[in-house]
Chains A and B, each alone.
Chain A
Amino acid sequence: MSDVYVLGVDMIKFGRFPDRTVPNIGAEAALMALDDAGLTIKDMQAMYCGNLGQANAMVGQRILQEIGQTGIPVVNCANACATGATAFREAWMSIKAGIYDVVLAVGVEQMGKGLLGGAGGGDGIPKEGLLGSGTMPCVFAEAGMEHSKDHGTTFEQFAKISVKNHHHSTMNPKAMYQIETPLDVVMNAEMISYPNTKLMCSVNVDGSAAAVLVSEKKAKELGMGRAVRVKASALASDPYTDRDLVMPDVNACTRLAAEQAYEMAGVGPEDINLVELHDCFATAEMLHYENLGLCKDGEAGKMIDEGHVELGGKVPVNVSGGLLSKGHPLGATGIANIYEVCTHLRGEAGERQVEGARLGMTHVIGLGTACGIHILEKV
């Protein structure tokens, strides 16, 4: 089977664009990725589009209606916060299968402001605040508190993650925010769901990201100069665990996908030079240090305390600013983090460059549950 390469990849600067349409926002990143690859829409043999908010509204086709209706097959994907990674993986699979040599993957989302999840509805009466909370800040707070219970992880340690990611974003012009948030500012921000304060919750933004994936044959033909090899692509759903249906288990699903990704890539966590992981909340990032094997179970607090996950540390995590500060347009996030890792592997990340990066990992997880992991390698 052919190796698969990312030949072009880009994202728009995340922000709030209430006057634009979802396809229009997606089209911008698609054109940017095509330009980055030095190709045009006429070269694309298929398109995989990730979007959640308009999952029933043919967003992929509507993007092509803005940038070129060539008649290629389009697949629209929705997979919670793993939507973008799923679209990318579908694109990857189509080349792996030998069906196509050049395909386009796009992720796009237009978000409102405010709390996600827990809105309830259905029969009878609203359940939010009656049977606990289904809001995302609370669900991920409960997952973080499980870590506190098992390992004594503190509010301050969780808060430090947000300080780190906001600091990283000051070096990323494509992030929603470029603002330093010292520890006292993070800890004294409005408490949303203990221990997640407002600055420990991801930012709802509009955004898009896109990638052009090619077969090895095509990469050689077009020039490998800036190509990035997709060393592994893994997607898992939630395996049965005792509390999963009541308290979504983001740990088991991530561990399953990580195990498969490492095996496919033939590498271990110690080989990874940078990670873009799903910091939808500061509490979530803490869990994933261990879930991705970046440290042993129980050592996540030490990872943040000792600076191992900062730019310049042993394994920098979310040097883009992460979902906490770059922003989290659900369907775009999974490709935006692939853009970030590719940018480092290409040595083009400027001020926030992870020096000598050869292998990077991306991770997203959407409740319900879907976890997508990619390992990317400098050619």
Chain B
Amino acid sequence: MSEKSLPAVSYLKIPDKGDPYLEGHKCGNCGAVFLGERSVCSKCFSRDNMSAIKLEETGVLHSFSVVYRSFPGIDVPYVSAIVDLDGGGTVKGNLINIEPDPEKIDFGMKVRLTYQDALGRKDKEGNSYLSYFFEPA
């Protein structure tokens, strides 16, 4: 069992020193930004032109839904959000620290990333995980 929390997804980076961040891969030819490592750009097809970038911490809410029914054991309601990050890249995640009421959530609202324990979820070995969330900026 790891003493440190593990990242919930591969594109969440937890440096030994400094703050966690989300990593994108940006095409050097067309500028498209992807989550996760890859060597070919699916937008412009250029090869071996991708480089890792640190995604920005702020963005705007593109779309969302308030989820009232999920799988057993998952707390509802919660806000599932699609966020366009400033500087490129689209990320999906939970929008927290806001009332999960569709009437009270504005499209285009500014949000920022926050990094917290993954809702207490642990893997079979008992490891803890760090995840990312969005909150109103």
B-binding residues in A (CB < 8 A):
115, 118-119, 124-133, 135, 137-138, 141-143, 145-146, 148-149, 155, 190-196, 240, 242-243, 245-247
Stretch at the interface among B13-21, B46-54, B58-66: B58-66
Closest to B71 in A: A128
Candidates B8, B71, B84; contact of A119 at CB < 8 Å: B71
Q: How many residues of B contact A (CB 8 A)?
A: 42
Q: Which residues in B have their C-beta under 8 angstroms from that of A191? A: 66, 68-69
Candidates B75, B80, B123, B131; contact of A138 at CB < 8 Å: B80
Q: Which residues in A have their C-beta under 8 angstroms from that of B97? A: none
Q: Mark B75-108, 1 if CB is under 8 A from A, else 0.
A: 1101011101000001111100000001000011
CA distance A143 to B108 in the complex (A): 15
6 sampled A-B residue pairs with Cβ under 8 A: A124-B8, A129-B67, A131-B93, A191-B68, A240-B42, A247-B63
Q: Which residues in B have their C-beta under 8 angstroms from that of A137? A: 69
With A125-B122, A194-B66, A194-B68 known, 15 other A-B pairs at CB within 8 A are A115-B70, A129-B78, A130-B8, A131-B93, A132-B81, A132-B93, A133-B65, A137-B69, A141-B65, A145-B65, A148-B107, A193-B68, A242-B90, A243-B82, A243-B84
CB distance from A287 to the nearest CB of B (A): 12
Candidates A115, A125, A247; contact of B129 at CB < 8 Å: A125
Determine if B74 is an interface residue (Cβ-Cβ < 8 Å): yes
Closest to A243 in B: B90
Q: Which residues in B have their C-beta under 8 angstroms from that of A240? A: 32, 42-43
Q: Which residues in B have their C-beta under 8 angstroms from that of A196? A: 65
Contact A125 B8 (CB under 8 A): yes
Q: Which residues in A have their C-beta under 8 angstroms from that of B119? A: 129-130
Which 4 A-B residue pairings sit nearest by Cβ, starting from the closest? A132-B80, A141-B65, A129-B74, A125-B121
Q: Which residues in A have their C-beta under 8 angstroms from that of B94? A: 129-132
Contact B65 A130 (CB under 8 A): no
Q: Which residues in A have their C-beta under 8 angstroms from that of B75? A: 129
CA distance A118 to B78 in the complex (A): 15
Most chain A CB within a 10 A radius of its CB, from B6, B42, B62: B62
Most chain B CB within a 10 A radius of its CB, from A118, A132, A143, A246: A132
CA distance A367 to B89 in the complex (A): 21
CB distance from B95 to the nearest CB of A (A): 8
Contact A130 B69 (CB under 8 A): no
CA distance A247 to B81 in the complex (A): 10
Contact B102 A195 (CB under 8 A): yes
Contact A194 B121 (CB under 8 A): no
CB distance from A66 to the nearest CB of B (A): 35
CA distance A242 to B33 in the complex (A): 8
Task: Contacts A127-B8, A132-B94, A240-B43 given; indicate if A193 touches B66 (C-beta within 8 A).
Answer: yes
Determine if B137 is an interface residue (Cβ-Cβ < 8 Å): no
CA distance A198 to B7 in the complex (A): 34
Contact B122 A245 (CB under 8 A): no
Candidates A118, A132, A149, A194; contact of B71 at CB < 8 Å: A118
CB distance from B26 to the nearest CB of A (A): 13
CB distance from B120 to the nearest CB of A (A): 10
Q: Which residues in B have their C-beta under 8 angstroms from that of A149? A: 62-63, 107-108
Contact A194 B65 (CB under 8 A): yes
Q: Which residues in A have their C-beta under 8 angstroms from that of B131? A: 130-131
Contact A192 B35 (CB under 8 A): no
Q: Which residues in A have their C-beta under 8 angstroms from that of B42? A: 240
CA distance A243 to B83 in the complex (A): 10
Q: Which residues in B have their C-beta under 8 angstroms from that of A245? A: 34-35
Closest to B30 in A: A240
Candidates B6, B63, B66, B70; contact of A128 at CB < 8 Å: B70
Task: Contacts A125-B8, A131-B94, A195-B102 given; indicate if A246 touches B107 (C-beta within 8 A).
Answer: no
Closest to A126 in B: B121
Task: Contacts A124-B123, A125-B8, A129-B74 given; indicate if A247 touches B82 (C-beta within 8 A).
Answer: yes
